[in-house]
Amino acid sequence: MAEWPYSTQRWQRLRRAKLAQQPICQDCAPRLVIPATDVDHVVPISEGGEPFPPLDGLAAYCHSCHSRKTARGPEAGAVRGQRHGVDPATGLPMDPGHWWTEPSSGQRSKISEG
Protein backbone atom coordinates (compact mmCIF):
# COMPACT_ATOMS: atom_id res chain seq x y z
CA MET A 1 0.00 0.00 0.00
CA ALA A 2 3.00 2.30 -0.18
CA GLU A 3 2.03 3.79 -3.53
CA TRP A 4 0.23 7.10 -4.00
CA PRO A 5 -2.65 7.78 -3.30
CA TYR A 6 -3.01 4.92 -0.81
CA SER A 7 -0.18 6.19 1.40
CA THR A 8 -1.88 9.55 2.00
CA GLN A 9 -3.93 10.64 5.00
CA ARG A 10 -6.61 11.82 2.57
CA TRP A 11 -7.05 8.26 1.23
CA GLN A 12 -7.12 6.83 4.76
CA ARG A 13 -9.93 9.23 5.73
CA LEU A 14 -11.84 8.40 2.54
CA ARG A 15 -11.37 4.67 3.14
CA ARG A 16 -12.65 4.94 6.72
CA ALA A 17 -15.66 6.94 5.54
CA LYS A 18 -16.53 4.32 2.89
CA LEU A 19 -16.22 1.44 5.37
CA ALA A 20 -18.44 3.35 7.83
CA GLN A 21 -21.01 3.93 5.08
CA GLN A 22 -20.84 0.36 3.75
CA PRO A 23 -19.53 -1.99 6.46
CA ILE A 24 -20.61 -5.21 4.66
CA CYS A 25 -18.88 -6.65 1.56
CA GLN A 26 -20.96 -5.64 -1.44
CA ASP A 27 -20.24 -8.89 -3.29
CA CYS A 28 -21.14 -11.15 -0.36
CA ALA A 29 -24.33 -9.25 0.61
CA PRO A 30 -27.20 -9.96 0.94
CA ARG A 31 -26.70 -13.72 1.20
CA LEU A 32 -23.70 -13.42 3.56
CA VAL A 33 -22.85 -10.82 6.16
CA ILE A 34 -19.09 -10.50 5.81
CA PRO A 35 -17.38 -7.33 7.07
CA ALA A 36 -15.85 -5.16 4.38
CA THR A 37 -12.14 -4.57 4.97
CA ASP A 38 -10.92 -3.33 1.58
CA VAL A 39 -11.95 -0.26 -0.40
CA ASP A 40 -11.52 -0.13 -4.16
CA HIS A 41 -12.08 2.40 -6.91
CA VAL A 42 -15.12 1.65 -9.10
CA VAL A 43 -13.21 3.18 -12.02
CA PRO A 44 -9.51 2.36 -11.57
CA ILE A 45 -7.08 5.27 -11.49
CA SER A 46 -5.22 3.53 -14.33
CA GLU A 47 -8.36 3.91 -16.47
CA GLY A 48 -8.90 7.58 -15.69
CA GLY A 49 -10.71 7.27 -12.36
CA GLU A 50 -10.29 9.94 -9.73
CA PRO A 51 -7.75 9.12 -7.02
CA PHE A 52 -10.09 10.59 -4.37
CA PRO A 53 -13.61 10.09 -5.73
CA PRO A 54 -16.89 10.69 -3.91
CA LEU A 55 -18.00 7.71 -1.79
CA ASP A 56 -20.23 6.35 -4.57
CA GLY A 57 -17.07 6.06 -6.70
CA LEU A 58 -15.67 3.51 -4.24
CA ALA A 59 -16.61 -0.09 -3.48
CA ALA A 60 -16.27 -1.96 -0.18
CA TYR A 61 -15.25 -5.64 -0.24
CA CYS A 62 -14.08 -8.34 2.11
CA HIS A 63 -10.43 -9.16 1.48
CA SER A 64 -11.28 -12.37 -0.38
CA CYS A 65 -13.66 -10.69 -2.86
CA HIS A 66 -11.27 -7.76 -3.37
CA SER A 67 -8.38 -10.12 -4.10
CA ARG A 68 -10.44 -12.02 -6.68
CA LYS A 69 -11.61 -8.80 -8.33
CA THR A 70 -8.09 -7.41 -8.47
CA ALA A 71 -6.71 -10.67 -9.89
CA ARG A 72 -9.21 -10.51 -12.76
CA GLY A 73 -7.89 -7.16 -13.86
CA PRO A 74 -9.47 -3.82 -14.75
CA GLU A 75 -12.42 -5.30 -16.64
CA ALA A 76 -13.64 -7.03 -13.49
CA GLY A 77 -16.74 -6.81 -11.34
CA ALA A 78 -17.28 -3.40 -9.83
CA VAL A 79 -15.80 -1.57 -12.82
CA ARG A 80 -18.93 -2.32 -14.79
CA GLY A 81 -21.18 -2.71 -11.75
CA GLN A 82 -21.57 -6.46 -12.33
CA ARG A 83 -21.13 -9.30 -9.89
CA HIS A 84 -18.83 -11.76 -11.61
CA GLY A 85 -18.35 -15.19 -10.21
CA VAL A 86 -21.85 -15.38 -8.74
CA ASP A 87 -24.53 -17.62 -10.21
CA PRO A 88 -27.41 -15.21 -10.95
CA ALA A 89 -30.00 -17.96 -10.38
CA THR A 90 -28.81 -18.98 -6.90
CA GLY A 91 -26.63 -16.07 -5.78
CA LEU A 92 -23.93 -18.56 -4.81
CA PRO A 93 -20.26 -18.41 -5.87
CA MET A 94 -19.54 -20.28 -9.10
CA ASP A 95 -15.92 -20.90 -8.11
CA PRO A 96 -15.77 -24.42 -6.64
CA GLY A 97 -12.74 -23.32 -4.58
CA HIS A 98 -14.63 -20.46 -2.87
CA TRP A 99 -14.78 -20.98 0.90
CA TRP A 100 -18.59 -20.81 0.82
CA THR A 101 -18.78 -23.95 -1.35
CA GLU A 102 -16.49 -25.96 0.93
CA PRO A 103 -18.64 -28.15 3.16
CA SER A 104 -17.86 -28.26 6.84
CA SER A 105 -16.89 -31.64 8.29
CA GLY A 106 -20.50 -32.21 9.42
CA GLN A 107 -21.88 -31.35 5.99
CA ARG A 108 -19.44 -33.57 4.10
CA SER A 109 -21.04 -36.75 5.34
CA LYS A 110 -24.52 -35.48 4.47
CA ILE A 111 -23.43 -34.42 0.99
CA SER A 112 -21.58 -37.66 0.27
CA GLU A 113 -24.55 -39.72 1.49
CA GLY A 114 -26.57 -37.88 -1.01
Specify whether domain 9-113 bears CATH 3.30.70.
no
**How far is it, in rounded angstroms, from Cα 59 to Cα 63?**
12
pTM more than 0.85: no
| Listed residue (89, 108, 100, 101) closest to 32, CA to CA | 100
pLDDT tens by residue, 62-87: 999 999 888 876 544 443 444 456 66
**Domain extents for the chain?**
9-113
pLDDT tens by residue, 1-10: 558 898 899 9
